[in-house]
Amino acid sequence: MVPFDAFVWPLCDPRTTVGMAPRARIPCPQELPALIRLKYLSPPARWTGLMASPVPALSLQHATQGDPARSLLWRGMLNRYDVRDVLSAVFADQHGCWAWLDLWRTGEADDFTEQETTYLAELAAALTPGLRRSVAGQFHAGTTPDVMVGLDLASRKGDSARPGAPSGQDMAPGPDTGRQGLPEQGVLTLSEDLAVVGRTESVNEWLHLLQPGPVPHHQVPAEVLNVAAQLLAREAGVDHHDAESRVHIGSGRWVLLRANRIAPAAEGSTPPLAVTIQGCMPSDRLDIFARAFGLTQRQRELLLLAAAGADTGTMADTQGVTPYTVQDQFKQIFQACAVHSRAALMALALGTGSWG
CATH number, domain containing residue 109 = 3.30.450.80
State the CATH number of the domain containing residue 325.
1.10.10.10
- Position 263 scores a pLDDT of 84
Q: Would residue 356 count as lying in a domain?
A: no
Q: Are 128 and 54 members of one domain?
A: yes
Q: Are 266 and 301 members of one domain?
A: no
Q: Are 86 and 37 members of one domain?
A: yes
Q: Would residue 200 count as lying in a domain?
A: yes
- Position 161 scores a pLDDT of 36
Q: Would residue 190 count as lying in a domain?
A: yes
- Position 323 scores a pLDDT of 97
Q: Would residue 310 count as lying in a domain?
A: yes
Answer yes or no: are the C-beta atoms of 41 and 238 closer than 8 Å.
yes
Q: Among 261, 283, 305, where does a domain finish?
A: 283
Q: Among 137, 153, 172, where does a domain finish?
A: 137
Q: Among 260, 283, 306, where does a domain finish?
A: 283
CA 49 → CA 97, 118, 142, 232, 292, distances in Å?
A: 11, 17, 35, 17, 22
Q: Are 228 and 119 members of one domain?
A: no
List the domain range (segments joined by +) for residue 80: 6-137
Answer yes or no: are the C-beta atoms of 6 and 48 closer than 8 Å.
no
Q: Are 234 and 336 members of one domain?
A: no
Q: Would residue 266 count as lying in a domain?
A: yes
- What total of structural domains would you count in the chain? 3
Q: Are 211 and 262 members of one domain?
A: yes
- Position 150 scores a pLDDT of 34
Q: Are 22 and 132 members of one domain?
A: yes
Q: Are 277 and 300 members of one domain?
A: no
Q: Would residue 105 count as lying in a domain?
A: yes
- Position 268 scores a pLDDT of 67
Q: Are 322 and 275 members of one domain?
A: no
Q: Are 40 and 81 members of one domain?
A: yes
The gap between the terminal CA atoms of the chain, to the nearest Å, is: 42
- The values of phi and psi at residue 148, to 5°, are -65, 140
Per-residue pLDDT of the chain (356 residues; tens, 9 = 90+): 899 999 999 999 999 999 999 999 999 999 999 999 999 999 999 999 999 999 999 999 999 999 999 999 999 999 999 999 999 999 999 999 999 999 999 999 999 999 999 999 999 999 999 999 999 999 985 433 333 333 333 333 344 333 333 333 333 333 344 556 789 999 999 999 999 999 999 998 998 889 888 888 888 989 999 999 999 999 999 999 999 999 999 888 999 999 999 987 767 678 899 999 999 999 999 999 999 999 999 999 999 999 999 999 999 999 999 999 999 999 999 999 999 999 999 999 999 865 45
Q: Would residue 72 count as lying in a domain?
A: yes
State the CATH number of the domain containing residue 252.
3.30.450
Q: Are 126 and 217 members of one domain?
A: no
Q: Are 219 and 96 members of one domain?
A: no
Q: Would residue 144 count as lying in a domain?
A: no
